[in-house]
Amino acid sequence: MSLMKELCSTPGVSGFEDKIADIIERELKDSVNSIEKDGMGNIIATKKGENKKAPTIMLASHMDEIGLMVKYIDDNGFIKFSKIGGINDQMLMNQTVVVHGENGDYVGVIGSKPPHVTKPEERNKVVPYDDMFIDIGAKDKEDAESMVSIGDSISFKAWFEEFPNDLIMGKALDNRVGCYVMIEVLKRINTRATVYGIGTVQEEVGLKGARTSAFKLKPDMALALDVTLSGDHPGVKKEEAPAVIGKGPALILADASGRGIITSKLIKEMIIKVGDENELDYQLEVSEGGTTDGAVIQLTGEGISTGVISVPTRYIHTTVSVCSKKDIETTINLIVEAINNL
């Protein structure tokens, strides 16, 4: 899990994915025919197949994570910030963060008005993010500006840990898990079909990188590799999040109530057939929540047969998440078998 740990520990807020792209390039340089970056910053690894008649397939894994951005520095050196991606305000309070300045990284803590001076009617309310600030220990505005600048990205500071029962905990499992799966699939496949492994940018803020990379490559079929909400913990009803940790990846049949992707029949039947024939666990999910890169890939050009395969993960879109190493490995094996059978 050393690569998984490195991917999780490396910062890559939307729009600042370069370090993740560098890891992907390093890992795949000896396993693919070519690696390039496009104008958006997507990294595209191509493993060419010998069979010109075989379908081309795109594996899209977004590299970015949710985070923050420096918006304003006040006279006392405290930082006001904007949210990048979907973040609930309640999870921000007192989190430790890292501001990535041009000359280095600076640890900070998110603060707000203390409860001792808060009015009684305010104490049980969630503090809105725009009432919070980041303290990096600067003595004044000039001191803060010598360290950080408007527009610098801010990531959450968390550590990687291996739990009992094959579980791992870490920052940005959404979607460094998908990046890890894509890397391992490209290393292991033995196919005559051409496979594109894409590390896409800015998924969390509008599925942006998937649009441009799919337009460039125009594959015959595509899989978006991501994570999905695991519904196996308190506070979640089974019908709200049926996928659970430990029972394999979820094949997403529809998300965002169909406003996102509705997985093509071709992809659905291919994954189910491979899973059943190879006794590889998988789960089926119909989601009313968010969507993934697959939604925009599917709409590229004249349309691309697209599906989404996601690893069930607890606490996504927070500062730290939990998933299963076993589920990750099953996901890799499922996709390798599917591609080798093309």
What are the catalytic residues? 203
Cα(145)–Cα(195) distance, rounded to whole angstroms? 46
Cα(193)–Cα(299) distance, rounded to whole angstroms? 22
Query: What distances in angstroms separate CA 157 from CA 96, 171, 211, 316, 337, one per listed residue?
Result: 6, 8, 30, 15, 37
Q: Where are the alpha helices (DSSP H) in the chain?
A: 2-9, 18-28, 141-145, 173-188, 208-217, 265-277, 294-297, 325-340
First to last CA, the chain: 29
Cα(159)–Cα(162) distance, rounded to whole angstroms? 10
Question: Pick from 187, 179, 176: which is nearest to 47 by CA?
Answer: 187
Other Cβ atoms closer than 10 A to 270: 20
